[in-house]
A and B are shown apart, each in its own frame.
Chain A
């Protein structure tokens, strides 16, 4: 059963993942550590919020990210290639300031989900469709597609990961992310005006 804290975390923190990862990416030269950083930021935020909920969850999320990067830089785990001091997230706020509202828009959410679904590999997409959309039990999905139960489970696990990545938009994609984010934003803005 999800607790209040779990709900809060999904509602107030996960929705900022795209901005968070964007921010980490700008400040941290080691691309292969971004996933790990993101996860630790989440863990720290969750633990702190278990004691007391921050007044502004977004500001708290970025402050946590900043502290974490400073800690790690200090511990010398990273040889500074770029100046690691500039962790000011002010630009990031501008990039994704309205994400919770945007998130709440059913139109955006469904469009994003449809995209996420369409990006899945073929078999994985079929499994996700039959299980999550048509709500067939896993064993019926296996039967329908002529694959083993274990394989269905594997495709589902993969589908969950890929959908979360696309939905929260936080999966580091190297330099492509920024351009992709910018064009998505433009599209969204244009659509909001059209609405």
Chain B
């Protein structure tokens, strides 16, 4: 073995020994001495130490895995998601045993510290599970394990479970747009508010509010159904072709058929816009509030009934408020955490 190889091996042995957990001051002095003996020792040590430190990012791979199991090779699926919410949670408290894997992900990314952080789920024998989340004010594109893609609207959460026979997506909060990879053998089912939206290969969005679920289809066809109601009667199944905007509430499903281009306008939040067409200011404010932490409040009911239309950048609440002030008898009170609109 060449000297350089021997040095590399020795450096690795030092690192492994230091990692053992019984490192003493005496050991430290011996290591210092070894490092001082030759710059070759030092650079090789630094090289391995730095790589080992980097390897800590592998903790991101353990997200969602039970402890103590070594996953098989190639069990990794890549998809970007912003872990901002998780990172915050991870900092807020030390990981508890049960939650450890959820937060391991965050730990990996705290190191990465870039806006385009990523997420690694895991996959074993065709099964995979993953959680994706976006924070308020953030629209997040993710690639799912089956090759489908999803765009999460502001403040949204989905849980994705893929098996050989099924692709299940649970919309826990907010809204998501799906571009479904074609796979006739595996229906793609989005569940929201007790409703099932089933597709094989198509594009649509599902949004969940406190009261209802809204589905917008821009390509292909999806099926909207719900489990039997409390009275045991089955609810009718709706087949929604492209251009459908369906609102499913407690009283049933209301479907509007629009030209596809018009239906697409419901999904302009993906490119940063909100589109209103003869909407009440109250509903427009609710829409802005989905995307911003600084809330828009209406002090008077009359203000909420004003009707507006247009195309607005959701990130630019201030300019929206200025326009409203210019066009209507409205006065805006600007507070740090919210803007209150008063009748003038």
Contact = CB atoms under 8 A, between A and B. Distances in A.
Contact of B47 (A42, A114, A129): A42
A61 B74 CA distance: 35
B39 A160 contact: no
Given A126-B70, A138-B19, A113 B40 contact: no
A130 to B, nearest CB: 7
B84 interface: no
Nearest to B76: A114
B-side interface mostly? helix
A118 B61 CA distance: 12
Contacts of B118: 106-107, 110
Given A39-B44, A46-B39, A137-B21, A130 B70 contact: yes
B79 to A, nearest CB: 10
B67 A156 contact: no
Given A46-B39, A134-B68, A161-B8, A168 B51 contact: yes
Nearest to A145: B70
B283 interface: no
Contacts of B46: 2, 6, 9-10, 14, 46
A157 B52 contact: no
B48 A161 contact: yes
A53 interface: no
Contacts of A96: none
B66 to A, nearest CB: 10
A85 interface: no
A35 interface: yes
Interface string B113-152: 0101110100000000000000000000000000000000
B59 interface: yes
A86 interface: no
A14 B264 CA distance: 49
Interface centre among B7, B8, B59, B80 (most CB of A within 10 A): B8
Contacts of A163: 51-52, 55
B177 interface: no
B84 to A, nearest CB: 14
Contacts of A109: 54, 57, 112
Nearest to B73: A118
Given A10-B50, A107-B80, A158 B12 contact: yes
Contact of B15 (A40, A149, A160): A160
A36 B2 CA distance: 7
Contact of B114 (A105, A154, A160): A105
Interface in B253-303: none
Contact of B16 (A14, A33, A157): A157
Contacts of A39: 4, 7-8, 40, 43-44
Contacts of B2: 32-33, 35-36
Interface residues of A, number: 55
Interface string A163-195: 110011000000000000000000000000001
B5 A129 contact: no
Nearest to B118: A107
A164 B43 CA distance: 13
Given A153-B20, A163-B55, A106 B47 contact: no
A110 B48 contact: no
B337 to A, nearest CB: 32
A146 B117 CA distance: 37
A74 interface: no
A114 B43 contact: no
Interface in B14-64: 15-17, 19-21, 38-40, 42-44, 46-52, 54-62
A43 B43 contact: yes
A183 B73 CA distance: 21
B243 interface: no
A128 interface: yes
**Most chain A CB neighbours (cut-off 10 Å) among B7, B48, B50, B60:** B50
Interface of A: 2, 6, 9-10, 14, 32-33, 35-36, 38-40, 42-43, 46-47, 104-107, 109-111, 113-114, 116-118, 125-126, 128-135, 137-139, 144, 149, 153-154, 156-158, 160-161, 163-164, 167-168, 195
Given A39-B4, A43-B42, 14 more contacts: A2-B46, A10-B50, A14-B47, A35-B2, A39-B8, A39-B44, A107-B116, A125-B70, A131-B19, A137-B21, A157-B16, A160-B15, A161-B48, A163-B51
Interface of B: 2-5, 7-9, 12-13, 15-17, 19-21, 38-40, 42-44, 46-52, 54-62, 67-68, 70-71, 73-74, 76, 78, 80, 104, 108-109, 112, 114, 116-118, 120
